[in-house]
Structure 1
Amino acid sequence: MAEEPIDLIRLEGGGNSVILRITGKEAGQGSDETDVLAGEFRVDTRFVRGGLRTWLFPEDLRQWQQALDKLDAGQDIAWREGTRAPWLFIERVEDDDRCRVTIRDHSMSLTTVTVTVPLTDAWFDEAYDRLDLIWKTWPLKED
């Protein structure tokens, strides 16, 4: 039986949301290929709504862990910048419990979307739990 989708990233509030929903694992081709996770970025606001398919490798998940640590320490982050995959930027809004989330698709649609959403302390515990759940649900074979 297929596993249910899991949201690796879920930032929402004030009528806006940015979600990275993981839909399953795709096995690498051959015995020496790396497994990947299939997913989709979903953006929903009163103004714009859309989705963008993406794939995540084990290194992407490790880098997301590092990005979460930096964000939790009060730093802005850039995740997957410089890769062929969609880039994700999260900038904290000074003196506020909000952040600006930007998704940039520089290879296919050539579109960039920025959304402002709340970023509370409770969000971080949930974000780490989501990452752990992804690793447990879909263990990835690395090359």
Structure 2
Amino acid sequence: MTSAGTRRGGEAVLYASKLESWADALDRLDAGEDVAWMEMSNGPSLFIRLTGEHDCPEVVVEDESGSMVTVRVPIVPPDDWIADHRERLRQVRDYWIAVTPAQGAEPPADGDPVRAPLRAGGGAARRRRGV
């Protein structure tokens, strides 16, 4: 359960396509490009600009579909931050398992299996048990 001010959420749901787009964003950042992640999706959009308003990298979060709030944060990331995020992404992919319709999730309307929702389920532990 998550909450922030007047917002309150339940179980976190990820989509494999969002993780893939984050991997693509990391590749573009590593190539020196600015990125937008989850832009025009249901919920906030995340932008990483390598040279922001203060001549340093910045993260911008825009929540146009909900609170109408925009937050801009100048950052000074460590040199290895992209490699660190790639490792964290690998860990998420290893840990989270796909939720199938038999487990109560509705399949995506477009039938795209890459967009199957993911939820915590100890994928590594299941693999060790042979499940």
| TM-score after normalising by structure 1 | 0.57
Q: Which structure shows the higher helix fraction? A: 2
Q: Which runs of 5+ in 2 are unaligned?
A: 100-112, 117-131
SS of corresponding position for 1:121: coil
Q: Deviations over 1:10-54 (max 9, x none)?
A: xxxxxxxxxxxxx8xxxxxxxxxxxxxxx78x9xxxxxxxx8867
SS of corresponding position for 2:98: coil
Equivalent position amino acid for 1:82 in 2: M
Aligned 8 A contact 1:98 1:119 in 2: no
| TM-score after normalising by structure 2 | 0.62
User: Is residue 57 from structure 1 mapped to residue 15 from structure 2 by the alignment?
Assistant: yes
* Aligned twin of 1:130: 88
Aligned 8 A contact 1:97 1:118 in 2: no
Determine the C-alpha separation between the residues in 2 that align with 1:117 and 1:52: 27
Q: Deviations over 1:99-134 (max 9, x none)?
A: 110011111111010000112331111100000000
Equivalent position amino acid for 1:68 in 2: L
What does residue range 1-143 of structure 1 map to in structure 2 within 5 Å?
55-93=13-51, 98-141=56-99, 142=113, 143=116
Matched residues, percent identical?
32
Length, aligned pairs only: 97
1:97 to partner: Cα distance: 9.2
Cα RMSD between the aligned structures?
Answer: 3.0
Aligned 8 A contact 1:100 1:117 in 2: yes
Determine the C-alpha separation between the residues in 1 that align with 2:78 and 2:39: 24
Q: Which runs of 5+ in 1 are unaligned?
A: 1-22, 24-38, 43-50
Higher CA-based Rg: 2
Q: Deviations over 1:32-90 (max 9, x none)?
A: xxxxxxx78x9xxxxxxxx8867431110000000000001100000011211210000
Q: Which structure shows the higher strand fraction? A: 1
